[in-house]
Each structure stands twice: as C-alpha cells, then as structure tokens.
Structure 1
Amino acid sequence: MFESRPDRGSEVVLVGRSNVGKSTLMRELTGHTFDTGQNPGVTRSPNHYDWTGPDFVLTDLPGFGFMKGVPDEVREQIKTDVVRYVERHAEEIIVGVLVVDGKAAVDIIDRHSGPDEIPHDVELFHFLREVGVEPVVAVNKMDKVDDEDERLNDLCDRLGLHPPWQQWQETIAPISAKRGNIDALSEAVRTHLHDAQRDDLFQFF
C-alpha cells in the first residue's frame, strides 16, 4: 500500500508518532484537508500532495508508536513500512520533518530509554541522518509549553545535539501548527532546500 508515490524527483516527508499533529501541519503547508481519523493509527498509508509543475511531492507518512486499540504487530508493521519507504526514496528526499509533541516528547523519550530500548523519536532522527536525509524536528504544540527554552534544550540533549537549542535552528523548529505558527519550520526547511539547490520550492514552505 506504500506504492502509490507520484513520480517525482524531489520529496519532503513528515514522520512521527501518532497524534503529534502531522496532518494539521500538512494542512497548514498545503491548504488541503486530508482525511484524518479521530482515532490514532487511522492513517495507514502515505498521504501524498504534489503540485502540478514542480518536480516535488510532500508526503505525510503514517504515525507509529503506541496507539490505543491497535495491535502490536500492526504498529510494528507501520513502523517497518515507514522505515522502508524512507530507505527506498532516500535519494529523492531532501528533508525529513520529524514531528514531535513539544509538551510530551521529552517525557516519552525518557520513558522508553533503557539498555535494550531506543525511543522511536531518537531512533528515527538518527536513522534519517544515516540514510542521508536532512532531519528537521518540528516541535509542535509549543503554545501549550511554558518553559520553552528548557523543553527545547532537553529535547536537543536527548537527540544528541549539544544545547542550547538556538544553535540548531536548521534542525529544531518550535511550531504550533494548529495556530498557523510554522515560521521556524519554514526557515529550517528552506535552508536545506537551498543547500540542495532547490530554491524554487521555497513557495511551498
């Protein structure tokens, strides 16, 4: 079911856990409403949005991680499908936007850190780098966070980026997709598009 990708040479993907606001962010970027279920894990296949003209597609990949009422094997399969998709298209993907919940991300990472466990968000961040995709972490729902700098510094720390977060503005982008506040993400993504000599795609971010 992951084979429906439009034939485009350049791509930006959104990845992350369920319920972090990927679909809201996708709507903010495209002006297009996608079918999102009320229940986590409803999006099981990628949502692609391609514009007529530019050789470019924006893709919202299914959310993964814990989802109420979704069996473990289904969750694992979704994660495997996401990883395989990124591996298969790594050459075309200019930026991988890892969307996290600003209020909960550090706690979730800490809860899943242990000798035999790497938290999904940390694993995905390093995986994107390993396959040569520039990761940008869209730290969503920041309108609900009081201690913004502290939260973002803690997140950097968990991702292996030396705080303070302000020195990672090409990688860490605090946003509130629901409120339409995504400037930090646009700036970060444009930096990588520029490096890839794709300034023509600035219009989409």
Structure 2
Amino acid sequence: MFEERPDREEVVLAGRSNVGKSTLMRELTGHSKFTTGQKPGVTRSPNHFDWNAEGFMFTDLPGFGFMSGVEEGRREQIKTDVVRYIEGNAEDILAAVLVVDGKSVIDIIDRHSGPDEIPHDVELFHFLWELDVPTVVAVNKMDKVDNRDERLDDLCDRLGLHPPWKQWQNTIAPISAKRGDIESLNEALQTHFHEQKRDDLLKFVT
C-alpha cells in the first residue's frame, strides 16, 4: 500500500490515531471523500489528494500509537511504515503537519516520557526536523481547551521549543478542524510554500 505513491511534491499529515487528521484533510482539500470516524485506526494506508497540474498533493498518513482492537505488532508496523514513508520521500515533502489533540497531548507525552521511552509525538517532531522537513504542529480541538496559552506553552516545552508559543507561529498552529478553524495552519503553510518558491500553491491554503 505504501509503495503506490503518485510522483508529486506533497504536504503530509501525521499523528496519533483519532486526533482529527482526516477531518483536517477534508478542510484542507474541500473534499468529503476522506473517511473519518470514532474508531481509531480507520486510515490504514496513505490517502493522497493530488492536483496533477501543480504536481502537488496532500497526504493523510495512517495514525500511530494505541488503537483499540489493533494488536501491538500491527501498531508498530504502521509506525515503521509512516517513518519509512517520510524518510524515503523527504526531498518531495514541502511541509509536514504533525496533528495532536490539544486536550490530551500534554498528558499523553508526560505518560510516555521516561529514561527509556520517548513519546511518539516528540520523537516524530524531532525526526522531521532532523530530516530538514518544514514542520507545523497542528494543535487540534483547541475549542475544547480553556487554558489555551498555558497549554500551548507547555507543548512547546515538551517539544524542546522555548515558550512562549507565539514566537513559533510557523511551527505551532492552534486549530479546530471540525469547526473549520484552520487559519493559523494555513498561514504557517503559506510561509513554508513561499520560502520554497512555491507561491503557485498558496491558493490551496487560503
């Protein structure tokens, strides 16, 4: 499944299961064909939505981490496949969007932090940076978060970015995909497209 990739430059959406990647994909593309649901792990292979004329696509990668009813071996394989996809196509990735759940991301990171464990979200963030892939952390479901600035500052701290979060507006984008509130993500992607001389793609993130 992972091998059947159109020859395009792309923006990839990555993150844990059930953080709203597919809902965000619908908002970014304006198309409703992407499967979403309450059940984690609905997306099992990359979903591409591409524009042939521009040689560009959005790609929704399968969610990783805990998934109810999915055995650990399969979960690890999905994570490995996601990492290999990003690594193998890094030169064609104009930007990566790491989607996290604003309500639970701090608790999840803290629960999986330890001497012998790096939380998946933190690990993937640093992996993308090491590959020199422009990365935006889309902090989803922010409409359900009360202490907004504090939560975003805490996330910066966990990711190794110096708070306050507002100095990282091309990296940290608070959104509510279900409500269609993705302006901060669009603005960050506009900056990354412009820096890579792809102003022809700005129309996709306005």
TM-score of the pair, normalised by structure 2: 0.97
Measure how far apart 1:36 and its partner are: 3.1
1:4-29: CA deviation from partner (whole Å, max 9, x where unpaired): 21111x11000000000000000001
Are 2:11 and 1:17 equivalent residues in the alignment?
no
Structure 2, unpaired ranges of 5+: none
Give the match for residue 74 of structure 1.
74
Give the match for residue 104 of structure 2.
104
The amino acid across from 1:15 in the alignment is A
After TM superposition, the structure 1 stretch with the greater mean CA deviation from structure 2, 149-158 or 125-134, is 125-134
Give the match for residue 88 of structure 2.
88
2:23–2:36 CA contact under 8 A, matched in 1? no
Please provide the CA RMSD for this pair: 0.8
Measure how far apart 1:38 and its partner are: 4.0
SS of residue paired to 1:103: coil
1:37–1:43 CA contact under 8 A, matched in 2? no
Give the match for residue 32 of structure 1.
31
Give the match for residue 45 of structure 1.
45
Give the match for residue 65 of structure 2.
65
Give the match for residue 155 of structure 2.
155
2:97–2:136 CA contact under 8 A, matched in 1? yes
Distance 2:52 2:12 in 1: 18
2:47–2:60 CA contact under 8 A, matched in 1? yes
Measure how far apart 1:35 and its partner are: 2.3
2:12–2:95 CA contact under 8 A, matched in 1? yes
The amino acid across from 1:12 in the alignment is V
2:35–2:42 CA contact under 8 A, matched in 1? no
SS of residue paired to 1:35: coil
1:16–1:99 CA contact under 8 A, matched in 2? yes
Are 2:175 and 1:164 equivalent residues in the alignment?
no
State, as a whole percentage, how many aligned pairs show the same letter: 75
SS of residue paired to 2:132: coil
